[in-house]
Copies of this chain bind each other. A is one copy, B any other.
Amino acid sequence: MVRHRRTSGAGRDKMTVMRNSSEAEHRPSLRERKKARTRASIREHALRLFREQGYDATTVDQIAEAADVSPSTFFRYFPTKEDVVLQDDFDLLAIGSFLEQPPELSLVGAFRAAAKETMASASETELAGLRDTTALIMTVPELRARAMDEYSRTINVIASAAAQRTGRSLDDPAILTAAGAIVGVIMAATLPWQGLADGEMTPADMFDRIDAALARLDEGLQL
So how many copies of this chain end up in the complex?
Answer: 2
Q: A148-B151, A149-B148 are in contact. Are A176 and B56 (CB under 8 A)?
A: no
Q: In the complex the two chains form, what is the Cα distance from A106 to B220 in whole Å?
A: 12
A144 cross-chain contacts in B, Cβ below 8 A: 149, 152
Between A155, A178, A189, the greatest number of chain B beta carbons within 10 A of the residue's beta carbon is seen for A178
A212 within 8 A of B: yes
- Chain A binding surface, main DSSP class: helix
With both chains docked as a complex, state the minimum distance between the C-beta of A151 and any C-beta of chain B, in angstroms.
7
Q: In the complex the two chains form, what is the Cα distance from A46 to B154 in whole Å?
A: 32
Q: Which of A12-20, A94-102, A115-123, A180-188 contacts B (4 or more CB under 8 A)?
A: A180-188
A73 within 8 A of B: no
A191 within 8 A of B: yes
A183 cross-chain contacts in B, Cβ below 8 A: 184, 187-188
Question: Are the C-beta atoms of A2 and B1 separated by less than 8 Å?
Answer: yes
Question: Are the C-beta atoms of A106 and B223 separated by less than 8 Å?
Answer: yes
Q: Which of A3-11, A34-42, A198-206 contacts B (4 or more CB under 8 A)?
A: A3-11
Question: Are the C-beta atoms of A212 and B173 separated by less than 8 Å?
Answer: yes
A177 within 8 A of B: yes
A176's nearest neighbour on chain B, judged by CB, is B188
A108 within 8 A of B: yes
A148 cross-chain contacts in B, Cβ below 8 A: 145, 148-149, 151-152
With both chains docked as a complex, state the minimum distance between the C-beta of A108 and any C-beta of chain B, in angstroms.
7
Q: A149-B144, A213-B173 are in contact. Are A223 and B189 (CB under 8 A)?
A: no
A4's nearest neighbour on chain B, judged by CB, is B56
Which positions in A face B, CB cutoff 8 Å? Answer: 1-5, 7, 56, 106-108, 141-142, 144-146, 148-149, 151-152, 155-156, 159, 162, 166, 173-189, 191, 209, 212-213, 216-217, 220-221, 223
